[in-house]
Structure 1
């Protein structure tokens, strides 16, 4: 069969780019054969070669031309099975001008100056999880815009510490002449001579170093399991079945494709403005999608495309401590009142005299139906007012916010390094409810925690503004459920799972699009009083023996009362000096306006994760109709009961 008649693959080298450029590219790719815009958005930004589309060579040619014109490196390759599978190395011999690999029946010679494609891979698939944890940690502390992927050096060391395997493809006259597979501990290392080690992994690494020394060009591929290529899925031991044999077959497929990319070269050299330093030509080093992003997509809502990473990624500060509140929280008060009311009704209805009194004075005259009607009417008008408020409030941009009630749309950006407590994912807001089964095997709410004390940014195309979520009606869409002791994403081993306890976690992930209706006002910089800051500084000073030693004037190893008074005076002077310096310092532009709950209680404060304002309006309409319908029915019930009650007997 001719190669041109085979199904072909359009493989793209993922790079980092701005969302505006990506949107215009996707607009141009829309309608091209085999292009799925959702998958294309995910695979154009990331690490490694990623499959963009499948089809005939003629169908993919136009898409390839669009990509190269836009600056992406891409390849159109036939979707053919590997014609050469690497054979296992038994021993080797090192000579000044060649390396000889002895396999089951052949001798494979690597002469000095030959080109080699080396694939170093982890056969266990644990690199996927390690890279996921690395990305999560980067997003937690640096933010989604500044998350840096694992470096090639760290990735190589992680592979060598796992279950490594090395495939070598020797190139001659622009094609693969032979291939060798090196499995640690399954070859005779005596041919390494003085560089031989007792460690099987180090011996494998020594072979790679020798190959890199002898080859004119050695392309080292490290992204097996991370790149999204057909037939290259990595199985894990927990999946069951012959996972090791399947991974070896996938590795042969991956090596053949990567070798084809290295031999074919890019359709067009990548521009200098988009060039990324990497070991393997054609393998990006910015972020990684592949199967890892497919796993994340199952657990999290689609995020907005990240902006280009900044040159210096300053870590986000820790979230502020939760303020102490006197008394019981609102959920605790509702729980106590509900329990008390339920108990009282149960005890009261158990009394026949009281039950007859309720029936006679409450239901027969229509008092209870009238109360229900009033409650339905209040609820209906409440959601109707919200619906009209959302419809009638014009949408503003963050740069042109007017003080007062405003409506804005944008993407969340964390101001602090906030993570959700159970799933351990970076987020702008979380709400965690914990339940436990009671004696009747029903779930009962035991606690409710939320990050309403942690502000975050809302960003649109004109700037950012601070959102203070305290006392807001927050409507997240991302919801996860688990049981007590269940394993989280960043935990290595799960503890004992308690089936009598469960948690439901709602989060707003960083990059999520939000609708916000609240009051914009000037952000006044609030700082604790000087006395409180002095007490906190002295408390920290007591915890630092090295800092305390500076105030030990007599050198006896203890701080006397006079020395402590001197330390207190110096701390007060230092804090007072800092206050005077910061007094005239203005806030950054993005921190000068804050959106909070309106002082007027009748005005709403809504934070909703919704696709558009129309979805929010429609949801309020769905609430309004049944409430008004219930009000009509209860009014009819009230009139009927009242007429029956007033009818003379």
Structure 2
């Protein structure tokens, strides 16, 4: 087997997001080398290292070169099998030119010029949990998709809070591993740390890491164990194996040997990738200014006196440009939802309460043997009063549904950019305006309704579920957007139909946010959610959002008060220099402030507010105008449902009406 045909492993540093250039490169790699795009995307995204694949050197080098051109760091290695493991650190002594580590039966000396690869790892999975929580929290609470890894301080803090392991790989002059040391909390004598020694075992571990990191001139620290997708380096949990601690300690050793392979083996393909890029922008510019463009690729310009500095400045400016563009990007983090509003008094709710209470009272009296309710109900049926009431209710609800159906059909669908004020119909996708999260499933949403039930455990109603509380996010506005723009929707008092309904128990939320533990089976939650990005139908009243602004007089008084507190500003109006502000000087100050307030008001009115913040779709002041928000596939399906329900209601009203007429005529002896 030749050197070219021997298999090599391609290791990559994962990226937080796939750029358009990288997506196109993956398509080319799929065509040229037959790689699976879906699997490749999974390996590329993340916050650690990953095994991209293995193959002949020529093929692996070609793939690595294309990835390098897209900004992905790659390594081509022949993975070494671990030949020996680490030895436990017992103590240490710091000298001027070296650190002497005491092991079981020997001592190992570490000099400043020695080459060291260090592994700081947590074998409990705390770093992985923190990374996943961060990933989901950024998306859920801030509306940001971010796969980037934790920064170094966060990573180290998470490791120290878990069960840390610190391995040192000492590499000799022949590029071989000569010793491996392992430090565990409370397993070594911290006296050698001097003033940095403490009563905390994790504090001593942190001091040891900082000591070796600052002492060695050629020191590389890796903290991505558990986040990396490397063969033989998988993190196990307590539920996976009874011997998970030893399994993870062994996989840390495997991870350490792979990291030393990255450091020890020469990466020739990177130079080739740099050569493919050709001359820099500064070199081409300098060659063009000299009138000798053919010198750009020769490398001669860099050695010419004065030109090297010019080329470096141009290249630095080009590299700085993307940074400025990134700094200019708008932060898309979402604000927290506004506090809930107090529920307003509702005559409809009060009427429903009294009707329900009356029915319950009647049923109680009947069950207790009281004849009066039975006589009243019998009289109501015989005279046709109760069937007539039922017919009226059926007709009322059926006719309202029919009117709503006709209103939907007769209201044209408007584009958000060109919609008029008044009753409008909008089709679009739901977008969060605030960082709203469903309380049970912890998913990003624009609206939720949560009903809590408790199971009765005594009496005749034992085993039945009783509604104990109900909450919703009707006070939290959201956006609806189409191809032309977006506008705010205030869902307060709307008829809302959510497309997602889930039932569960408290504690069955997302495990990354503390769920998955024990829960009370006597309590049940039912959650209805409109998730972000879902297609919505909104029928409501569009109006300009009126902002409460202070009057000119209020603003003037406020600024006059501020002026009194500002001694330096007051001195500007002390024209006679006597240290006092007389009536004329105070009047002049008031006139200046009045002009300032007027200019500020004119400037505010001159700035046009964005449509999404200036217009809101909500409930109309006219009670007859509907306000509907529903998650739907099409308008036809919505109107079809309303037609079916209104037809059933009106049919029921007709049947109840005929029955009422017959009973009434029979009672009065007309028939």
Task: Indicate how the Cα distance of structure 1 residues 584 and 49 shifts in structure 2: closer, same or farther if over 3 A, else same.
Answer: same
Cα 1:120–1:368 change in 2 (3 A) is same
Q: Deviations over 1:394-413 (max 9, x none)?
A: 685x5566666354444624
Which residue of the other structure, out of 449, 453, 459, is the alignment partner of 1:431? 449
Using the alignment, how far apart are the partners of 1:375 and 1:492 within structure 2?
45
Q: Does 1:208 align with 2:178?
A: no
Q: In structure 2, how many angstroms separate the alpha carbons of the residues matched to 1:257 and 1:127?
A: 20
Q: Which runs of 5+ in 1 are unaligned?
A: 273-306, 538-546, 548-569, 644-649
Higher alpha-carbon deviation: 347-356 or 311-320? 347-356
- For the 8 Å contact 2:505–2:520, the answer to whether it is kept is no
Counterpart of 1:451? Answer: 473
Please give the alpha-carbon distance, in whole angstroms, between the structure 2 residues aligned to 1:331 and 1:263: 75
Structure 1 position 319 matched with structure 2 position 320? no
Question: Is 2:493 the counterpart of 1:475?
Answer: no
Alignment of 1:68-87 (within 5 A): 68-75=68-75, 82=82, 84-87=84-87
Q: Deviations over 1:261-284 (max 9, x none)?
A: 455669657999xxxxxxxxxxxx
CA distance in structure 2 between the partners assigned to 1:74 and 1:413 by the alignment? 38
Distance 1:126 1:358, change over 3 A: farther
Provide the residue aligned with 1:527 in structure 2. 548
After superposition, residues 348-387 of structure 1 pair within 5 angstroms as: none
Unaligned runs of 5+ in 2: 278-324, 559-564, 566-589, 663-671
Paired residue for 1:183? Answer: 184
SS in 2 for 1:254: helix
CA contact (8 A) 2:11 2:49 kept: no
Give the direction of change, closer, same or farther, for the CA distance of 1:312–1:587 in structure 2 (3 Å limit).
closer
Task: Quote the offset at 1:166 in angstroms.
Answer: 0.9
Deviates more, 1:71-80 or 1:631-640: 631-640
Displacement of 1:230: 5.0
Mean CA deviation greater in 443-452 or 67-76:
67-76
Q: Distance in 1 between matches of 2:602 and 2:390?
A: 64
- After TM superposition, the structure 1 = structure 2 runs for residues 126-525 of structure 1, keeping only pairs within 5 Å, are 126-131=126-131, 143-144=143-144, 150-172=150-172, 176-192=177-193, 196-236=197-237, 241-263=242-264, 268=270, 313=331, 316-328=334-346, 341=359, 396=415, 405-410=424-429, 412-414=431-433, 416-421=434-439, 427-438=445-456, 439=458, 440-441=461-462, 442-458=464-480, 464-472=486-494, 473-477=496-500, 479=502, 481-483=504-506, 497-508=519-530, 512-519=533-540, 521=542, 523-525=544-546
Per-residue deviation at 1:221? Answer: 2.0
Larger displacement relative to structure 2 (107-116 or 158-167): 107-116
Alignment map for 1:593-608 (pairs within 5 Å):
593-596=615-618, 605-608=628-631
User: CA separation of 1:371/1:336 partners in 2, compared to 1, >3 Å: closer, same or farther?
Assistant: closer
Deviates more, 1:445-454 or 1:588-597: 588-597
| Paired residue secondary structure (1:121) | strand
Change (3 A) 1:250 1:194: same
**How far is 1:434 from its partner?**
1.5
Q: Give the corresponding residue for 2:47.
A: 47
Tell me how far 1:120 sits from its aligned partner: 1.4
Q: Does structure 2 retain, via aligned residues, the 8 Å contact 1:469–1:596? A: yes
Per-residue CA deviations over 1:7-34 (Å, capped at 9, x if unaligned) read 956644213466x667656766778756
Return the offset for 1:449. Answer: 1.4
Report the Cα distance in structure 1 between the residues aligned to 2:27 and 2:398, rounded to whole angstroms. Answer: 48
Q: Partners of 1:380 and 1:85 in 2: how far apart?
A: 76
Is residue 501–residue 529 contact of structure 2 (8 Å, CA) maintained in 1?
Answer: yes
2:587 counterpart of 1:587: no
Contact 2:13/2:74, CA 8 A, preserved across alignment: yes
Instruction: Write the deviation string for residues 324-375 of structure 1: whole angstroms up to 9, x where unpaired.
Output: 343249778767756755765787799887888899999xxx9999999989
**Contact persistence 1:34–1:54 (CA under 8 A):** no
Cα distance, 1:107–1:515 mapped onto 2, change above 3 Å: farther
- Distance between the aligned counterparts of 2:35 and 2:143, measured in 1? 34
Q: Aligned equivalents of 1:336 and 1:224: distance in 2? A: 64
| Map 1:56-135 → 2, pairs under 5 A | 56=55, 67-75=67-75, 82=82, 84-104=84-104, 108-131=108-131
Q: State the alpha-carbon separation in 2 of the partners of residues 622 and 79 from structure 1.
A: 64
Does the residue aligned with 2:505 lie in a helix, a strand or coil?
strand
Q: Which moved more, 1:174-183 or 1:591-600?
A: 591-600
Instruction: Return the alpha-carbon distance in structure 1 between the equivalents of residues 30 and 625 of structure 2.
Output: 46
Change (3 A) 1:500 1:141: closer
* CA distance, structure 2, for counterparts of residue 447 and residue 637 of structure 1: 35
Larger RCO (CA under 8 A, 6+ residues apart): 1
Cα shift readout 1:28-49 (whole Å, capped 9, x = no counterpart): 6778756363x66566454223
Deviation at 1:458, TM superposition (A): 4.4
Q: 1:183 Cα deviation (Å)?
A: 0.9
Query: Does the 8 Å CA contact 2:186/2:201 hold for their aligned counterparts?
Result: yes
Residues 593 and 443 (structure 1), Cα distance of their counterparts in 2 relative to 1, 3 Å cut? same
* SS at 2:506 equivalent: strand
Residue aligned with 2:186, SS? coil
Over 3 Å counting, the alpha-carbon distance change for 1:92 and 1:624 in structure 2 is farther
CA drift of 1:216 comes to 3.7
For the pair shown, which has the larger CA radius of gyration, 1 or 2? 2
